[in-house]
Amino acid sequence: MTTQVHRRRRKAPRGRSAAPHWLGRLPYLMVLTGVAAGLTLASFDYFRKGAGVIAAALLLGALARLLLPESQLGMLAVRSRAVDCWTLVLLGETVAFVSLSVPPMHKTGLVLAGAFGVLIALTMAGRGLLLLRDRRRARPPG
C-alpha cells in the first residue's frame, strides 16, 4: 500500500495589512527614474539641474531605505540598513556638491558651494567622531 501526500504551499496572508507585490519595487523604481531623469537633463546641457535631480533621487532613496521595512524596498535593500543608507547619503551629498561647484558660476553660486562644502566637511567630521565614540564603547575593557 502506498500513500500519497499532497503538500499545499502556504500563501502569504492577503489581509488589509499586507502590501501589494508591486509596492515593493516602487522605491527602487523612483530612485532609478530620478537618476535617469537627471542623466537626461545633463545630456541636454543642463548639468547642474541634472546633477541636482540625481542627488535628490539618491537622498530620497536613502530616506526610503531608512524608513521603510525590508519587504517594501525591493532591490534598494542590498546590504545592511546602515551601509545602504550611508552609501546613498554620501553619493547624494557628493553629487550635490559637484553640481554646486562646477564653474562657471557667479559670486552667489560660489558662496553657496563653499557653504555646502563646509557643511559636508562638518558632517563628515561629526560622523567620524561618532564612529570613534561607538568603537570605544564597543571595545571591552581590557
Q: In this predicted structure, what is the pLDDT of residue 52?
A: 92
Percent of the chain with pLDDT over 90: 24
Segment 52-96, tens digit of pLDDT: 999 999 999 999 998 888 877 778 888 888 898 999 999 999 999
What's the grid cell of residue 142?
581590557
Closest CA to 99 of 42, 57, 61: 42
Q: What mean pLDDT do residues 108-126 have?
A: 78
Is residue 46 within 8 Å of 99, Cβ to Cβ? no
Residue 84, number of CB atoms within 10 A of its CB:
19
Q: Is the pLDDT reported for residue 19 higher than 70?
A: no
- The predicted model scores a pTM of 0.60
**Domain regions of the chain by residue span:** 22-138
Q: Is the pLDDT reported for residue 15 higher than 80?
A: no
Closest CA to 65 of 45, 91, 86: 86
C-alpha 106: how far from chain center: 31
Which H or E run contains 58?
Answer: helix 47-67
What's the grid cell of residue 10?
502556504
